[in-house]
Each structure stands twice: as structure tokens, then as C-alpha cells.
Amino acid sequence: MFLWDKPLGLKVFRQTPEKAAISRMLAANQGLYNGFLAAGLIFGLVHGNPAFAFQIKAFFLICVIVAGAFGAATVSTRILIVQALPAAIALVTLFLA
């Protein structure tokens, strides 16, 4: 969200400065969405009720997986590896813990 049109963001997302400028607001929207997902996961980590915390973490990890799968289907399969795979690993780890 904050690095979209900066050198690191351009490199990571394989953007030209011109393309990044055009899509800046779209990236800000996606960044905000991802920030809310992260906030939900953090809430699940700090919640005092273990059973409810488990449900919160599972819900938000599933949301990340679905978003990653949608991104892979509509934008780039690379998103599946970068976003959905780590969330899937975390979800499996959550269920095994």
C-alpha cells in the first residue's frame, strides 16, 4: 500500500512507474483490505479466550487463502505462492497445534 510506487514496490510487483501511478488507488484499497486481515489475525493471537481465538485465527487465515486463490485466478498465479500458501501452512499449523 505504501510502497506501491516506490522502488521496492515497483520491483516486487513488477510495475513501471507509469502503471503504478495509474493503479495507485487500487493498490491502496488492496493494502487496506490486507491490513484488516492482518489486524484480525493479530486480534486472534491476543484474545484471551483460547477457543474463540482459534476461531478468529482460522476465519482470517481462510479469508487470506480465498483472497490468494482469487488473486491467482484473476491476476497472477504467483499470488497463490506468495499469499495463499503461507496462510495455508499457518492454517494447517493452527489445526495441528
pLDDT at 4: 93
The answer as to whether 48 is a domain residue is yes
The answer as to whether 53 is a domain residue is yes
pLDDT at 30: 86
The domain total for the chain is 1
In order along its 97 residues, the chain shows pLDDT tens digits of 889 999 999 998 899 999 999 999 989 988 898 899 999 999 999 999 999 999 999 999 999 999 999 999 998 899 999 899 999 999 999 999 9
Name the residue range of residue 31's domain: 7-96
The answer as to whether 2 is a domain residue is no
For the chain, what is the radius of gyration of the CA atoms?
Answer: 15
38: left (phi over 0), alpha (psi -120 to 50) or beta: alpha
The answer as to whether 49 is a domain residue is yes
Q: What is the pTM of this model?
A: 0.79
The answer as to whether 1 is a domain residue is no
> Helix, strand, coil % (nearest 5) of the chain?
80, 0, 20
pLDDT at 41: 94
Those residues with Cβ within 8 angstroms of residue 2's Cβ, 6 or more apart along the chain or in another chain: 31
